[in-house]
Chain A
Amino acid sequence: MTLLWLPIGLAIPTLIGWLVLTLLEGKTPVLLATERWVMGLLLGLTFTMYLTFLAHIASIIALSLAGFFAIQLVALAILGGLYFLREWRDAAYGVSPPVPPAPSPRPRLWIVLILIALLLWTAAKIILPGFILLSTPPYFDDTISNWNMRGNVFFVTKNLELRLPTQRPGDTAPNSLSSYPPTVPMAKAWLADLAGKWDIGLVNSIHLVWLLISLALVWTTIRRTASRTWSVIALWLLASLPLYLMQGTNAYADVFLSAHLLAAAVLLYHAARAETPQQRLAALRLAAFATALLPFTKNEGFLIYLPTILAVTVALLLVSVKRNILTWKHVGVAFAWFVLLILAIGAPWIGFKLAHGMPFGNAKSVSGFTIAWQPNVLVSIAINTFFEGNWLLLFPVFIALLLARSREAFRTPLAVLTFTFLIVYLGQIPLFLFTSLSTEALMQTGYARGLIHLVPIVIIIVTLLARSIVDNEDERYKKQDTRNKE
């Protein structure tokens, strides 16, 4: 029965997220209806926790049931008011029609049966380990000593404590100061406040929601361009990755971050696919919102993914101008949205970290590295990527498809996703090869976590490239090129 607090606790944040996305879209909807709700749930919860954090550090509220609730009601009232104002205004001026999903012809019976079997198998792989997550105490280290511990401390003290209790009360070393953004533990504290007790099943259940969000985002992204068959295949592929499934059915925050990164990258992809300037600008506004929330997820969100998404955005804007899809004025407006939202959401958190002397790395500080070749790292990376059970056949297949379909991977809107992956992946390899971060690769910790964040994006690329082969899109592109020349 305690689990009933989960949907209750997610309802208002989802609505807040949905309202923010709808308002940012303006008169030009660029999301599928399902996509808007899924992203609303993901981004809405994080955004709500960010607002709560702001109000808390401004000493307006405590991290209590009343505090959480007050912020959500105020946000809902303001956003709801803006929404109805817009509805009233748009009733006069009209809005663009909603985005339809791609056509989905009914596949043959044997294909339907295979797809149903894949979905049932996937459901079993999520439900059974999910049941264990809800009915056993935490086992893995980060769950115990970080995510759940901090959530429990917030719940008990009603305060954003930066130092966690320890068996050695005299320990005041800098590394005992928590450096992580508080979104995940605050969400747990909110659920616990609703239930009135710290219930392990309830506070861990949110991690299953983040796994389902990630799967749903992969589904909706594929559905924008391909049939349901391909959406099911993509969903099965992502859930088939053993390490992703392990992380998703345990109380870790890497799938949570992967969903946020996926949302930001997918919204940029939507912008790249948009046919009109208005649609492209609307998608860019949404991408700016998702990007701005990245620093408030995990430290990697600020250090690695925010700069990457910004770099891809700048490239997309320049290409858009070159192809006469956007004007320089449009570029200025889009860039202003990014700057505004990143400053509004990222800056307070970064300022808070600086003010409290909180480090920016996770396991290690990011400053003070000495540069030297680290032996055995390449072998370790190769084993983790190609010869363990973590990713099945994903990376060899991905590399083969990039080579076989390089035109589509690098010269169509899909390039947004391809470059997001490549910048992050190739950017972090030198860190492992030449700095003391090598232990993260040698011990198979940080390296594999980095891939967890990226694999939903890789799955989308793999699915769309495979689909282009199966549907023989080469011929289609050729015909299209010929027509364009004519």
Chain B
Amino acid sequence: MRFRIFLLGLFFVPLAAHAEDSTVWNFQNADALKVWNVQGISVQPTAEGFHITGQGGMIRATLLAHPIDVIELTFARSQATTIALLWHVPGAPQQALVQVPIVLSGGSQPETVTVNMGRYQKWSRNADLLGLGFPEGTDLVLQDMTMRGWSLSEKILEAWRSFWTFDEEKAYSINFLWGPLLVTNPVAREQLFSTLPPFGRSANSIFYGIIILAGLVIASLAAYRRMRLRDGARHRTCILAFLGVVASVWLVYDVRMGSEILSYAARDYRTYVSQPPGNRTLRNLENFYDVVERSMPLLTLDPHYVIIVPKGIEHLATVALSMTYPSVPLFPEEKPGPEIHAWLIFRRGDIRVDDHGQLVQGSTVLSPPGRIVTQFDQTSFLFRPIDAIVRRPMGAGTDAACGVSTIHPQ
């Protein structure tokens, strides 16, 4: 009978009845412009959306029936620029607008920017004015703007899901681990560990809350039953109960963090250990290890080889050094001599082989004539000068070991 009453009661609980509220402002019709107060910029309604040029801004009353947690801006086309998202907090002076930068990557393809508004301390979920600001030289087409909000039950569920959302193993993981972070909408959860520092409330504060609450409840119960502090067994029962709560929270936390560390291992197994050469990637260094490993027969032929890696991650040369030592990589600035047997180019779209067979960067010649012996991907390859080939022709075995796949005779 009790169970039936419980089931009946569920009908009255608005659990996920309004899981997500969403409002779309579509700018693909001219009427949409009427509600906007436009200043400085030129706004031309088109079939694609508002064609906005010049410097200035546009703002309107929000007039939504639901609070806002996430704003999505869709541009039919845009330029690489930074615009501003503006809002007004109810009750603040009329001119006091808050703004945050929105970075557009630009291009002729539609681009959607999703902003988790909750990460801004000054954000008000019930902002009464919303707007956009544009810098000088703006030329873009704004297609639509979507405001999304979630109910309390959905927020709690999302917080639970975010608790179990793991970071990936990164260079900083050897020094610190963020631990479980709580966010309250799916967009924030998707973006959880993608920014540094990540946005989210540390779950530790919840754990501390649980422990303090448990302590208060147990102490209150003890006081209610008039247990004296030195009341032998019953006093001990209270302390054991409290320690039990602490141990349980510790265990839950251990399961959470242990699972994260095991997820690192599982990912490495999936992407590296279980993959054949040519398909291996490791964490954020992607296929670098694979490229060096496949190049080893050539790289380790002589005491030195040249390596060119993307600017800003020259550290990759040290990684290569650790794999090929006693063969030592040199940067091209070291002016390598003719004795160099191999040039490893990794993710450098600006370096190519010219018509004379030389490696060039723009108009600067880097190497003597030679040929690409292995092409790993669009911008990574292993290059061998002709002199080196003549001086020390490679056996078929070495070529095969290098995984020679694409040969470009010059």
Which of the residues B177, B208, B258, B334 comes within 8 Å of A169, measured between beta carbons?
Answer: B334
Which residues A158-217 have CB closer than 8 A to chain B?
165-170, 198
Q: Does B164 contact A (CB under 8 A)?
A: no
Interface string of A431-463 (1 = CB under 8 A from B): 000000000000111001100000000000000
| Complex contact A445–B175 (CB within 8 A) | yes
A102-110, A331-339, A387-395 - interface stretch:
A387-395
| Complex contact A140–B257 (CB within 8 A) | no
Interface string of B268-280 (1 = CB under 8 A from A): 1100110000000
A198 to B329, CA, bound (A): 18
| Complex contact B321–A167 (CB within 8 A) | yes
Given contacts A145-B318, A167-B328, A469-B243, is CB(A392)–CB(B261) below 8 Å?
no
A124 to B208, CA, bound (A): 28
CB distance from A99 to the nearest CB of B (A): 30
Given contacts A135-B273, A387-B205, A393-B246, is CB(A444)–CB(B176) below 8 Å?
yes
Q: Does B171 contact A (CB under 8 A)?
A: yes
Q: Which residues of A contact B315 (CB under 8 A)?
A: 141
CB distance from A438 to the nearest CB of B (A): 15
| Complex contact B180–A389 (CB within 8 A) | yes
Q: Which residues of B contact A466 (CB under 8 A)?
A: 243
CB distance from B197 to the nearest CB of A (A): 9
| Complex contact A387–B202 (CB within 8 A) | yes
| Most A-side CB within 10 Å, residue of B258, B269, B289 | B258
A384 to B204, CA, bound (A): 11
CB distance from A135 to the nearest CB of B (A): 5
Q: Does B307 contact A (CB under 8 A)?
A: yes
| Complex contact B173–A129 (CB within 8 A) | no
A112 to B5, CA, bound (A): 40
Q: Which residues of B contact A132 (CB under 8 A)?
A: 264-265, 268-269, 273
Q: Which residues of A contact B321 (CB under 8 A)?
A: 149, 165-167
| Complex contact B261–A246 (CB within 8 A) | yes
Q: Does A74 contact B (CB under 8 A)?
A: no
Q: Which residues of A contact B253 (CB under 8 A)?
A: 389, 392-393
A466 to B315, CA, bound (A): 46
Q: Which residues of A contact B240 (CB under 8 A)?
A: 470
| Complex contact B173–A167 (CB within 8 A) | no
Given contacts A148-B322, A472-B236, is CB(A390)–CB(B177) below 8 Å?
yes
Interface string of A372-415 (1 = CB under 8 A from B): 00000000000010111110110011000000000000000000
Which residues B142-173 have CB closer than 8 A to chain A?
169, 171-173
Q: Which residues of A contact B169 (CB under 8 A)?
A: 139
Q: Does B386 contact A (CB under 8 A)?
A: no
Which residues B315-346 have CB closer than 8 A to chain A?
315, 317-319, 321-323, 325-326, 328-331, 333-334
| Complex contact B317–A167 (CB within 8 A) | yes
Given contacts A137-B323, A149-B321, A472-B236, is CB(A384)–CB(B176) below 8 Å?
yes
Which residues B232-247 have CB closer than 8 A to chain A?
236, 239-240, 243, 246
CB distance from A64 to the nearest CB of B (A): 15
CB distance from A427 to the nearest CB of B (A): 21
Interface of B is mostly: helix
Q: Does A326 contact B (CB under 8 A)?
A: no
Which of the residues B249, B261, B322 comes within 8 Å of A145, measured between beta carbons?
Answer: B322
Interface string of A70-105 (1 = CB under 8 A from B): 000000000000000000000000000000000000
Q: Which residues of B contact A445 (CB under 8 A)?
A: 175
Q: Does A144 contact B (CB under 8 A)?
A: yes
A466 to B176, CA, bound (A): 27
A121 to B250, CA, bound (A): 14
A390 to B179, CA, bound (A): 7
Q: Which residues of B contact A469 (CB under 8 A)?
A: 239, 243
Q: Which residues of B contact A387 (CB under 8 A)?
A: 179, 202, 204-205
Q: Which residues of B contact A149 (CB under 8 A)?
A: 318, 321-322, 325
Q: Which residues of B contact A145 (CB under 8 A)?
A: 318, 322
Given contacts A136-B272, A152-B325, is CB(A129)–CB(B171) below 8 Å?
no
Q: Does A138 contact B (CB under 8 A)?
A: yes
Which of the residues A142, A165, A397 comes within 8 Å of B246, measured between beta carbons?
Answer: A397
Considering the complex, give the chain B residue whose CB is closest to the CB of A129.
B265
Q: Which residues of A contact B239 (CB under 8 A)?
A: 469-470
| Complex contact B322–A136 (CB within 8 A) | no
Known pairs A145-B322, A156-B325, A472-B236 / 14 extra A-B pairs, C-beta < 8 Å:
A131-B265, A136-B282, A137-B322, A152-B322, A166-B328, A168-B333, A243-B175, A243-B177, A246-B261, A388-B178, A389-B177, A389-B180, A392-B253, A393-B250
Using a CB–CB cutoff of 8 Å, the interface residues on chain B facing chain A are 169, 171-180, 202, 204-205, 207-208, 211, 236, 239-240, 243, 246, 249-250, 253-258, 260-262, 264-266, 268-269, 272-273, 282-283, 285, 289, 293, 307, 314-315, 317-319, 321-323, 325-326, 328-331, 333-334
Name 10 A/B residue pairs within 8 A (Cβ), A-sorted: A138-B322, A148-B322, A242-B258, A243-B177, A388-B178, A389-B180, A389-B257, A393-B207, A396-B208, A443-B175
A-B pairs with lowest CB-CB distance, top 8: A389-B179, A240-B254, A242-B257, A387-B202, A389-B177, A444-B176, A128-B265, A132-B265
